[in-house]
Amino acid sequence: MSMKKIYGLIGRNIDYSFSAKYFSEKFKNEKIIDCEYKNFDLARIEDFNNLEISKINGLNVTIPYKEKIIPYLDKIDKSASEIGAVNTIAKKNNKLIGYNTDYLGFTNSFKNNLNFNNALILGTGGASKAIQYALNIKKINFDIASRQKNIKYKSYKKINESLNEYDLIINTTPIGTYPNISEKPKLNYSLLSEKHFCYDLIYNPKKSSFLIECEKKGAKTINGLEMLQSQAEESWKIWNSMS
């Protein structure tokens, strides 16, 4: 009897994880009987060294390790290098190679209709970097809002003076995710209208407080589920191209 191929997710506090459920259902529905998907919950990134990597065929990476994982890899591909974050790890000749499929998932979720003039990205983490990369490819201007004091980022106070200048607003922060579902980014929601398209990378709850507020003002909204499904399929393609 052949050994099962093991895939999995590394992150912290990932019991809720989308990936394990998605891949387990995929394997069942597509009758892929030689594969298994597991959660590898790491209290700290150093615990990556304790994984039996020789027995693992591929990994996804989630918060808070998309940037911290990079020093543990043998190589990262061009897009992951430019983004500065990795969400997929594949093995080739026993070398660990990092990729980023988040930006593809984001782009794919628009069904080729990513046509905006000015975007606003809330947050500066690994997911934000993937969105920045996707918008750069599509030549869409964007600003980044952050609570950090940094010349590269705009303060929420500054953003709230000019919110109507943007037609796409993307929340890449974890604000509003389960269980803190009543929280939302500190925006002046009264400035939003039907000309806005608001995107929240959060998928649990399906409709975050951020999206609920945006919808009240007539904005079009989308959550992060399609992006997650698409980036998962892109990860699967990468793993299979290695085997």
The catalytic residue positions are 66
In angstroms and rounded to an integer, the radius of gyration of the C-alpha atoms of the chain is 18
- 141 touches 117 (CB < 8 A): yes
Q: Between 18-29 and 225-242, two packed helices, what is the crossing angle to 10 degrees?
A: 60
Question: Which CA distances in Å does 134 have to 44, 139, 224?
Answer: 29, 9, 15
Distance CA 116, CA 131 (A): 14
The letter for the amino acid at 83 is I
Per-residue tokens: 109: 């979720």
Three-class SS of residue 190? helix
- 59 touches 72 (CB < 8 A): no
Distance CA 134, CA 171 (A): 15
DSSP 178: T
Count the neighbouring beta carbons within 10 Å of the beta carbon of residue 39: 17
